[in-house]
Amino acid sequence: MQLIDTHCHIYLPEFDADRDEVIGRAVAAGVSRIIMPNIDSSSVVPMLEAEEKYPGYCLPMMGLHPTSVKENFMEELSTVEAHLKEHKYYGIGETGIDLYWDKTFLREQLVSFRRHLELAEKYDLPVVIHARESLEVIINEIVSFGVGRVSGIFHAFPGGPEDARRVVEMGFMIGTGGVVTFRNSRLGDAAIEAGINNIVIETDAPYLAPVPYRGKRNESSYLTLIIEKLSELLAITPAEVAERTTANAIRLFKI
């Protein structure tokens, strides 16, 4: 099986002690690419260092994470735009709205998200969306921007089946990670509604490790556990889940 981890922060300090070993385990598990979302200006250098160390394997995106949207967000957005002009990136993100931790900068997050949508359209890149406690707000923003102008992924998809149907109809895919293995998670039902042609797999490593590693550091090799769970939910073989989700990622990110 060949797998693509469409969302992994392999460049973060949590992997500094054993990054080579983590990559080695990913390769052994069949992971052929790791796509890295940016966080803010502080993460660009380590992310690009990971790309340089693992060329053609660790692929960078560019964006400003919504929890990094603060008073200086316009300066951060300028940095995002400057990097997009200077380097090849495979997606815009991660961006979105986060209303779980702090609602103080909602207005600024909305401005930032709209700018990311514009950049995704300008550079013809998929947009990777963080939608924690904000799915309806984000859907409304995309409708306001114009359905069909951009495509991408709702990362760590937080909704149920009806939400999945709506975002798929808008031209987006469902990012499915370790949460799908959690008891009482709605993600399994959302994945069933979305269908295998509208699903990509992800880890969000080092976060959101699947069962039986829940609460521990996540890594790309654990994608095999996501494949197994999706195989069970969708009643198709693990090999077919791997083939179809990999094809979806290749098509979306133009790999």
Query: Domain of 72: which CATH number?
Result: 3.20.20.140
Q: What is the pLDDT of residue 52?
A: 98
Render pLDDT for 34-84 as a digit per residue (tens, 0 to 9): 999 999 999 999 999 999 999 999 999 999 999 999 999 999 999 999 999
| pLDDT confidence band for 102 (50 / 70 / 90) | confident
Q: Is pLDDT at 119 greater than 90 in this prediction?
A: yes
3-state secondary structure string, the chain? CCEEECCECCCCHHHCCCHHHHHHHHHHCCEEEEEECCCCHHHHHHHHHHHHHCCCCEEECECCCHHHCCCCHHHHHHHHHHHHHHCCCCCEEEEEEECCCCCCCHHHHHHHHHHHHHHHHHHCCCEEEEEECCHHHHHHHHHHHCCCCCCEEEECCCCCHHHHHHHHHCCEEEEECHHHHCCCCCHHHHHHHHCHHHEEECCCECCCCCCCCCCCCCCHHHHHHHHHHHHHHHCCCHHHHHHHHHHHHHHHHCC
Render pLDDT for 185-242 as a digit per residue (tens, 0 to 9): 999 999 999 999 999 999 999 999 999 999 999 999 999 999 999 999 999 999 999 9
Q: What is the pLDDT of residue 1?
A: 86
The structural domain count of the chain equals 1
Q: What is the pLDDT of residue 154?
A: 98
Q: What is the pLDDT of residue 35?
A: 98
Domain region containing 207: 3-253
pTM above 0.85, yes or no: yes
